[in-house]
């Protein structure tokens, strides 16, 4: 991603942006902004705004649990959010309650649970704020490949092109994106074909399609991040 740093120095010749951490923060924003906007549109389109709101607020309790049990909050936060999401889906399937009611109960429950956990230790409350809101200036070189991989995966899903077109587009990012991000783009495009997933509804149950799509996303993300990690260790 070296061309990005050179481009910033040329286009924005401000003294503050000549610092490496400022350039990393700006590149992080450039990777996050299109990804967040694209995913946000889909969340609203599928009427999942309330569901995503409950998942995001569960991060509060996930971070608090990680700090209390001396675990990495970067791991406990997504794991707890995943458990809350699965819990909401399970209750919706096995009860006659409306979706908004189930989500509302989980929403208030996880927030109350997080407050109860934080209230046990005042020092934890200060650390929770740091993990919840974060600081864009603290983005380092280690986070850049991960953001690039996720962005390229989202782009491949939204474009929904054929494998040949994916290869040409991925090649155009050579030098700008790491190899793992280009590979993720080429893999997720033909494997996560929205047209095929819609056609599968006439053959498979909805649960099987969701499991298949989830496995594809996890596998591609894991392989791409693993390759980037191996390249970092070797280099």
- How confident is the model at residue 36, as a pLDDT? 84
Report the mean per-residue pLDDT for the chain.
82
- How confident is the model at residue 234, as a pLDDT? 46
Closest CA to 221 of 150, 127, 145, 139: 150
Tell me what the mean pLDDT of segment 185-206 comes to. Answer: 82
Residue with tokens 């109960």: 105
Q: What predicted TM-score, i.e. pTM, was given to this entire model?
A: 0.76
pLDDT digits (tens, 9 = 90+) for 118-137: 777 666 666 666 666 667 77
Would the pLDDT of 9 be above 80?
no
pLDDT digits (tens, 9 = 90+) for 73-101: 878 888 888 888 888 888 888 888 888 88
Containing 131, the helix (H) or strand (E) segment is: helix 122-133
- How confident is the model at residue 128, as a pLDDT? 66
Asked if 21 and 137 touch (Cβ cutoff 8 Å), the reply is: yes
pLDDT digits (tens, 9 = 90+) for 19-72: 888 888 888 888 888 888 888 887 888 777 888 888 888 887 888 788 778 888
- DSSP class of 192: T
- DSSP class of 177: B
């Amino acid at each position: 991603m070296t061309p990005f740093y050179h481009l910033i120095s040329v286009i924005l010749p401000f003294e503050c942006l000549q610092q490496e951490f400022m350039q990393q923060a700006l590149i992080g924003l450039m990777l996050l902004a299109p990804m967040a906007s694209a995913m946000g549109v889909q969340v609203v389109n599928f009427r999942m705004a309330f569901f995503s709101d409950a998942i995001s607020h569960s991060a509060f309790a996930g971070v608090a649990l990680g700090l209390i049990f001396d675990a990495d909050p970067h791991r406990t936060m997504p794991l707890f959010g995943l458990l809350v999401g699965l819990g909401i889906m399970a209750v919706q399937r096995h009860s006659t309650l409306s979706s908004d009611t189930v989500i509302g109960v989980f929403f208030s429950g996880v927030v109350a649970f997080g407050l109860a956990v934080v209230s046990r230790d005042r020092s934890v409350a200060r650390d929770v704020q740091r993990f919840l809101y974060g600081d864009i200036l603290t983005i380092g070189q280690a986070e850049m490949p991960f953001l690039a991989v996720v962005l390229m995966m989202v782009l491949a899903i939204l474009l929904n092109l054929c494998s040949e077109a994916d290869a040409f587009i991925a090649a155009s990012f050579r030098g700008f994106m790491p190899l793992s991000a280009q590979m993720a783009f080429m893999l997720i495009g033909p494997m996560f074909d929205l047209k095929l997933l819609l056609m599968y509804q006439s053959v498979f149950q909805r649960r099987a399609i969701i499991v298949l799509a989830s496995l594809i996303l996890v596998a591609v993300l894991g392989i791409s991040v693993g390759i980037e990690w191996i390249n970092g260790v070797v280099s």
